[in-house]
Chain A
Amino acid sequence: MPLTLTRRNVLKFVGGSIAGMMVTPLPWKLLDDVAIWTQNGPWIPKVPRGPITTAFSTCALCSAGCGIQARCVNTIPYALSGIRNHPANNGTLCPSGVAGHHLAYHPLRLKSPVQLFRREETIEVQPVSSEEILGKISAAVAISRNAGEGTLALLDQRPGRSVSLFYRNQLAMHGRGVYLVSPTDPILITQCLDEMVGTSFGPVGYNLERVRTVLSFSAPVLDGWGTPVQTSKMLAHRGSSGQKGARVIQIDSRYSRSAQLADQWIPIKPNTEAALAFGLAHVLLREGLYDKALIQSRALDFQTKGKHSYFDLVGRFTPDHTAECTGVSRDVIVATARALAAQGPSLVIGDGDSGGGPLGREAEMAVWGINILLGALGSNGAIVHHRAVPAPKEFSANGLSPVQGVSDIPDHSIGVLLIDASEQGDPLPWSLLERKLIPDQSLVVAFSPTLTGLAQHTHYIIPTPAHLEALTDVPTMLSSATGTFSVSSPLLRRPEGTMDAREIMGKIFEVEGTLEELLKQRTSAIFESRRGRVFKASTGSSVQLTELGSSDELWAELTAGGMWMDDPVRSKPLPEFHFMGRSPAAYERMLDAGEGISSSNEPDAPRKITVLPYGRRAEVGGAQLSPLMTKLYQESGLHRSSKVAVLNPATAKEFNVANGGRGTLVTERGTQEVTIRVDGAVMPGVAEIAVSPEPVGQAGTEIVQEQDILELIVPDQAPTWRAFRATLQKA
C-alpha cells in the first residue's frame, strides 16, 4: 500500500511512536538519569574525603565526664560514641554528647570579640579588638581595687574546674573580688551541710550501690543527674534485665521525666518541699524510726530547754498539717516515711532541677535532716565522704576567695562582672544578676564561644574556643562516691580570634602561664598523691595510679579519654550538728520555709497561673545546643522549648486557651508568647515551661534575642525561681 503523507498519518505515527516508546526502557531510563543527575548538583553538600582516624577525649558538656571516641575524617570528628567500659558512660552518650562535635559550627558562633547592642527583639554586634575590651576591664578592675567603687565579680558557670581555682586565687588577691556561682550549684548544697555541722564537712558524694530506696525532691535523678552508668543502674530493674535497682520515689510539682520514670510519683504543691521534708521527719520521730541515742548525743538543737528546737519545729508538721501545706495526702506522707525507714538503706536527694531553680537553703537543710534521721549520713550510709582532688599548693583553701551564690551578695554592688560562659552551665535569670550591678556604671563582659544565654546580656564578648576545641578539665560530679578528674583534650583546631578563659584572666591580672600548664600541675599533684585508679581508654580497663611511671604518663592517659578516680575513704562518724543550722533566728527561718511562701498560699490574684520552669542538664538556658537538636525540639517535640507551655486540660479551659493555640504570659518584667500544649498528666493550675532556648538549625539574617521564661521572673518575689505567678491570656 502506497504511503500517503497525510496529516492524520503523521499524527498516528507520532502518537504510535510515543505510545510505543513508553514500553521501551528509554523514557524511564531518561527519567531515572535526570533524577540521578539532579542529585549531584553543586548545591548539594559533598561529603568530606580523606583518611579516617580515631581519637579519644572526654566530654566536658556536664560534669559526668563521659569518655568519647571520635571517628574523624581529615582529623575532623564526624561521629562521637562512648568509650566502652568507661566508668562514667560505658560506651554510651546522651543526645547532647552525641552531637557535641557540632558545637564548633553553631550558627551563633563567635570567632572575634564583639560589642553588643540590644534592640527591641534583636541584637546587633560590632567588631572590637580584644585589647580594647581587656583595657576596659583592667581600668575598671583598678578602679574597683584602688577607689573601692564596686566589687569585681566573676560568675563561673562551671565551678570546680582547675581554672576555677585560679579565678578564686586571683580574686582573693584582688581584695575586692567575689567569686559567684549559680544559686543552683551543688557546692551551695554542701555548704548547707557545713552550716549544720559548723565547719567544713568535706566533699561528700553518693554511693548509689548501697541504696535500696531513693527519695528525690525534684532532682532529675533519672534524667541526667548522675552519670549514664549511674542512671542505667538505677533503671536496671526495669524491663527484662532481671537485675536489681533502687526504688525511686519522685516528689515533683512537674510531671518531669524522672516523675515519669520513677517507681512512684508524689505530686506536690509548688514550693512546699520544706514542709514535706518536715512532715516526713515528723513521722520518723513520732514512730521512733531513727537512732535515738545517736541523735540525742549529736544534735545540739534536737530538744533544747527554753529555746525552740528541731523537735518543736517538726512537731508542728503533723501529717494533716503537712497534707494541707503540700497537697500530698496524709496517708502518702506516713507511708513514704515508713517506707524510707523500712526499705533502707535509703537516700534523700535535694539537689533540685538546675533549670527549675534552687530548693532554698532551709529546704536543703530539711533534706539533710531526714538523711541524718535515716542514717544515710555517717559511717555506713549512702552519703559518703571523699577527698578533694589534689591541687597545687597555691590553691589551698585559705588562698581562695569563698564560693558565693549570686543571691547572697548585696544589690547594686558589682562594678565589673565577668561571666565565664566558656563551658555549659546552669541557667540563671538575668534579672537576678542585673540587680546586683551598680546601675548604669557597671561593665559586663562574657567569655563565651557563642552569642547565647547570659552572654546576650553583656556589653562585650571575648570568644573562647568551643567544646572539643579547648583543653579543659571536668570536675567531680556531686553524685560521685569518690573524687574524679578527667581532661577534655581538643579534637578540633580552635579559630585564631579565640582566647581561653585562663588566657583572658591571665591578661587581666597580669599572670603568666597557660591552661595546659595549670592542668599539668594538677595532674602532677594527683600523681604525687599516689592515690586512686586510672581508667585507660586504650585498654578499656583501670589500673592503680602507682602502676604508672610518671606524671607525663598520667597526663597522656587523661588526655586520651582516661579518668582518674580517687580511692574511697571511710566516712567520718556524724559530728555534732544543728538540724536547723547555726544562723540567728534559725528556727523562724526554717518555720517560714515550711509554712511560708507557697504560691498556693498567696492571696489569689485573678487569672494567675503558677509557672514551673525546668531544665535538662547540658540542654538548659545558655547551653550551646547542636544545630541538629532541632530533631528533638522543633521536629519531634520530644523535648519542649521555652516557647511551649504545658497545661492540664482543666487549666487550659479555665484560662480559655486551647491545645496548639497561643497564649501570652505576663509579669511585671514583661510578656512572653507561648504555644499551649494540653496534657492530662500535668498538675492543674500550673504551666510547665522549659528553660531551654530553641535550637538554632540555620543562621538567620539577624540575631534574635533568646526567649527565656526566666526573663519574666521578678526577683523580689522569692529567693528562688522554682515557681512564679504570671497572668495567662489567649494571644
Chain B
Amino acid sequence: MDQTTVKKSRYGMAIDLDRCTGCGACLIACAVENNVSPGQPKVNERNGTTWMRVFEVQDGRPFPDAQTAFIPMMCQQCEVETPCVSVCPQNAVEVDPETGIVGQIPQRCLGCRYCMTACPYHARYYNWWDPKWPDGMEKALNPDVAPRMRGVVEKCNFCHGRLHEARARAAAQGSRQINPSDYIPACVEACPVQAIAFGDLNDESTDVALLARSERAFRFLARLGTETKVYYLSGRDWVRRLADRELARSKKETLHG
C-alpha cells in the first residue's frame, strides 16, 4: 500500500455475554492501563470511576430459577449523531475520522456534564476528586496516559495510549498502517475467557466483524440510531431483550431484567 494513504478503520468490539463470567479482570485492567485512581474513602457506585463497568443482571425469576448474565459496559462508540459530541460546548469530545473512536480531551473539559446527561449508556464518569494514589504508587503509573484532574469527565477511548504506541511502532517500521496485533485494548487482553473481540469492523475478515454479523449479535438501545460500534452476543432471549431497556437513571448498577 501507498505509505502516505491510511486505510480508514472503524474500530469496534464484540462482547460475548454467554462467555463472560463477571470476573472483573477487564475492569481492573482498564483502570491500570488508563491511570484511573483508586476510590476515595467515601466512594460508592454512583460517584466512582470505572471506564469499563461489569453489570450483573438477572432475568427476574425467583429462587431457584433465576438466571444471571454479566454485561461489561463501556463507551459504546456511537457512530451516528454521537450525543456527547453534539452537546459539548467545549469541543472536548471528538470522533477520530481515521479510526471512528470517540475521544475525550480532558484538557478542554469544563466539567459541565452535559455529555453525561446526553450519553444513553451512562458510560461517562465525572471526577469528583483529584486523582490520588497511595504513597509511592505514582511510580507505577502508565507513562503513556496522563491522569485527569478533579472536575472533568472521562471515559473509555479504546485505550488511546495503546493506539499511539501501535502507531509509533508502525512508524518506526516506515509504515502508517498499524499491525492489528499491536493494538489490543487492555480489557481484551486481560479477559481470561476471551469474551471480548476487538478490531476493525471495516475489515470483513476480522473476528469482530464476523461476530458483529452473527445471529447472536445485538446492540444496546439500537432504536436510538446511534449505530454503536460495540456489539454484544447472546443466544439467550431474555439477555437480548435487555438491549431495548433504558438503563436505570437513578443508579448505574440497577439493570435488572
Contacts and interface: CB of A to CB of B under 8 A. Distances in A.
B106 interface: yes
Contact of B32 (A44, A628, A634, A635): A628
B71 to A, nearest CB: 11
B79 interface: no
B23 A95 contact: yes
B137 interface: yes
Contact of A697 (B18, B41, B45, B62): B41
B74 interface: no
Given A222-B21, A698-B41, A632 B27 contact: yes
Interface in A635-650: 635-639, 648
B145 A630 contact: no
Given A78-B140, A93-B25, A102-B140, A631 B50 contact: yes
A232 interface: yes
Q: Which 5 A-B pairs have the closest CB atoms?
A: A635-B48, A697-B38, A630-B39, A681-B66, A105-B137
A629 interface: yes
Contacts of B145: 47
Contacts of A255: 63, 66, 68
Given A81-B189, A93-B190, A45 B141 contact: yes
A38 interface: yes
Contacts of B191: 92
A715 interface: no
Interface string A223-247: 1000010011001001111000000
Nearest to B130: A43
Interface in B174-225: 186, 189-195, 211, 214, 216
Interface string A609-639: 0000000000000000011111110111111
Contacts of A93: 25, 29, 190, 192
A74 interface: yes
Contacts of A684: 63
Contacts of B37: 697
A102 B140 CA distance: 8
B68 to A, nearest CB: 4
Q: Which among A32, A105, A635, A681 has the greatest number of chain B C-beta atoms within 10 A?
A: A635
B142 A79 contact: yes
Contacts of B253: 636-637
Nearest to A241: B19
A631 B141 contact: no
A428 to B, nearest CB: 25
Contact of B28 (A41, A73, A629, A697): A629
Interface of B: 16, 18-19, 21-25, 27-29, 31-33, 35-41, 43-45, 48-50, 53-54, 56, 58, 60-64, 66, 68, 90, 106-110, 130-149, 152, 186, 189-195, 211, 214, 216, 233, 235, 253
B54 A638 contact: yes
Contact of A35 (B43, B110, B139): B110
Interface in A91-111: 91-95, 97-99, 101-102, 104-107
28 contacts: A32-B90, A44-B149, A46-B138, A47-B35, A47-B145, A48-B139, A73-B143, A77-B140, A78-B140, A78-B143, A81-B190, A89-B192, A92-B191, A93-B190, A93-B192, A94-B192, A238-B19, A239-B195, A255-B66, A267-B63, A627-B137, A631-B38, A631-B39, A634-B45, A635-B49, A638-B56, A680-B61, A697-B38
A32 B108 contact: yes
A639 B24 contact: yes
Interface stretch (A257-265, A364-372, A382-390, A582-590): A257-265
Given A93-B25, A697-B40, A627 B133 contact: yes
A261 B67 CA distance: 9
A69 to B, nearest CB: 10
A39 B149 contact: yes
A372 to B, nearest CB: 30
A43 B129 CA distance: 12
Contact of A92 (B131, B146, B190): B190
A35 B109 contact: yes
Given A39-B152, A698-B39, 11 more contacts: A32-B108, A101-B140, A105-B134, A267-B64, A627-B133, A631-B28, A635-B43, A636-B50, A680-B66, A698-B38, A698-B132
Nearest to A41: B149
A289 interface: no
B63 A44 contact: no
A441 B17 CA distance: 56
B110 A49 contact: no
**Size class of the contact patch on chain A:** 35 or more
A223 B21 contact: yes
Nearest to A80: B32
A479 B2 CA distance: 53
Contacts of B32: 78-80, 98-99, 628
A632 B24 contact: yes
A410 interface: no
Nearest to A630: B39
A235 B192 CA distance: 11
A101 B50 CA distance: 19
A36 B146 CA distance: 12
B133 A45 contact: yes
A685 to B, nearest CB: 10
A699 interface: yes
B136 A105 contact: yes
A50 B14 CA distance: 35
Nearest to A45: B138
A104 B133 CA distance: 12
B192 A232 contact: yes
Nearest to A680: B62
Given A240-B214, A628-B28, A260 B149 contact: no
Contact of B192 (A43, A228, A265): A228
A636 B134 contact: no
B149 A235 contact: no
Interface in A260-308: 260-261, 265, 267
A257 B64 contact: no
A574 interface: no
Nearest to B33: A79
Given A238-B19, A628-B31, A683 B134 contact: no
Contacts of B137: 102, 105, 627
A45 B132 contact: yes
A104 B136 CA distance: 9
Contact of A635 (B41, B50, B66, B109): B50
A235 B193 contact: yes
A628 B54 CA distance: 15
A35 B148 CA distance: 11
Contacts of A104: 136
A52 interface: yes
Nearest to B61: A680
Nearest to A265: B64
A52 B31 CA distance: 20
A682 interface: yes
B140 A239 contact: no
Contact of B21 (A76, A235, A627, A631): A235
Contact of A260 (B38, B68, B235): B68
A102 B141 CA distance: 10
A231 B193 contact: yes
B18 A238 contact: yes
A731 interface: no
A695 B24 CA distance: 15
A238 B136 CA distance: 42
A636 B54 contact: yes
Contact of A683 (B53, B63, B138): B63
Contacts of A695: 38
Contact of B48 (A36, A636, A679): A636
A223 B145 CA distance: 32
Contact of B16 (A32, A41, A231, A240): A240
A81 B32 CA distance: 11
Interface string A62-94: 000000000001101111111000000101111
Contact of B41 (A101, A682, A700): A700
